[in-house]
Amino acid sequence: MRVRTARGLVALGAIVATASLALTGCSGGGSAGSGGQDGGSADAQGGAKTLTVWVDADRAKVLKDVAAKFTKESGVKIKLVQKDNSKMEQDMISQIPTGKGPDIAVGANDWTGQLVTDGVIQPVELGDKTGDYEDVAVKAFTYDGKVYALPYSIENIAILRNTKLAPKAATSWKDMMAKGKKSGAQYPFLVQVGEHSDPYTLYPLQSSFGGGVFAKKADGSYDADKLTIGDDSGVAFAKWLKKAGQEKLLSTSMTPDIAVEKFDGGKAAYWLTGPWNVAAAQQAGIDVAIDPIPSLGGKTASPFVGVQGFFISSKTKNKIAANDFLVNYLGTESVQKALYKVGNRPPALKSAFESVSSDPIMQGFETVSKTGTPMPNVPAMAAVWQYWGDTEAAIIDQKGDPAALWKKMTSNIQSAIDKQ
């Protein structure tokens, strides 16, 4: 089971061993990756005749057939290397500069800024196909005005409602709490917190007070030089956290595993979570619906929108083939629909989304994504997560004045950013 939390503060799932799945097409040639670690041959234009692609287990199954098609039509082989997603980013950073990394790798949009700063990826040329993708997906992979990945899926959290306990969607935060209590459920409203809290999941509640983490530039991108998390809206949220902890609405003992157990056991009416927990709830016999997130603070409850995509290595020896494989093969409706089926996340390609839009669960998450904001992709975000989560947890556990703790957190984050 995969539980989406703030950048590794909670990590669940088995470690997947690295395995190579070499796909041989019509032509022969070496198996060189971005740096030619295997000494592969080149084609007439000087490009490597093998592209090494790092993917996780689910994506590997989908890419196998399309990779074979690409090989048949282009003469360039695709070597799929199955990797543990939790290690992908750091392995790219450490291996691509040495020439032992991939030509292409799957990853999350919030990696973008760090990968660009470290010089390990290069822009993807979407050309006139840019408009074929959801706007939030393209923006999520845009850094300094350039797009650095081919988007394929979008994910965000929303309200998962047990329709037996709560037949109708809530019209407001107050209405949700009233309906939840009226249901008689042990938990009228459920959200995972954990020992170090979970800022990712709690963020739409915080954003409903009107604030964010960083200011935004005119083009909608994040301005890492302007930390805004410590403003008045952030302090107002911190004060609410203290109250929520006192009333036991939030608890650091509510881990992701326990949250799953409680909802799947029919003990919660409303659950703030993501699409990764839908299938298990349905398998447990819970009839679910996806609802918008009611505003707690009076402003729009705006969840982070995470986008998955495919990066191109800055060291690839065949950028033309790599870009072609992404844009003209992975960027097709059939492939994006197949990726949707294994990942259960709305496709980033508009036509692929429209073709599967009859799914009410997917429609629900997609509707909420329209109110969301891309997960920050600036390197400075790496300095935020731990202080943010630990401070939330301390406030929920009643370990100090919320305003003072929030001010100290902001100072610590700014100091950490300054040292980067």
- The domain that holds 72 is classified in CATH as 3.40.190.10
**287, 312: one domain:** no
User: Where do we find the tokens 């982070």?
Assistant: 304
Supply 243's token pair.
């109250």
Contact 40, 106 (CB under 8 A): no
Report if residue 354 sits inside a domain: yes
Report if residue 2 sits inside a domain: no
| Per-residue model confidence (pLDDT) at position 248 | 96
Report if residue 384 sits inside a domain: yes
**351, 253: one domain:** no
Domain count, the chain: 2
**265, 141: one domain:** no
**299, 311: one domain:** no
Residue 178: which domain range? 158-304+376-419
Report if residue 14 sits inside a domain: no
**56, 129: one domain:** yes
**216, 227: one domain:** yes
Helices (H), 297-401: 319-325, 333-343, 350-355, 360-369, 385-396
Residue of 147, 153, 150 lying closest to 58 (CA atoms): 153
> Mean pLDDT, 10 residues at a time, over the chain (420 residues)?
38 35 35 41 57 92 94 96 92 94 96 96 97 94 95 96 97 97 97 97 98 91 95 98 98 98 98 95 97 97 96 96 98 95 89 89 92 94 96 98 98 95
Report if residue 179 sits inside a domain: yes
**261, 365: one domain:** no
Burial (CB < 10 A; 0-12, 13-18, 19+), residue 412, is middle
Residue 386: which residues within 8 A CB-CB, separation 6 or more? 9, 196
**203, 137: one domain:** no
**230, 253: one domain:** yes
Cα–Cα distance, 9 to 7 (Å, whole number): 6
**105, 75: one domain:** yes
Burial (CB < 10 A; 0-12, 13-18, 19+), residue 418, is exposed
**56, 142: one domain:** yes
| Per-residue model confidence (pLDDT) at position 47 | 65
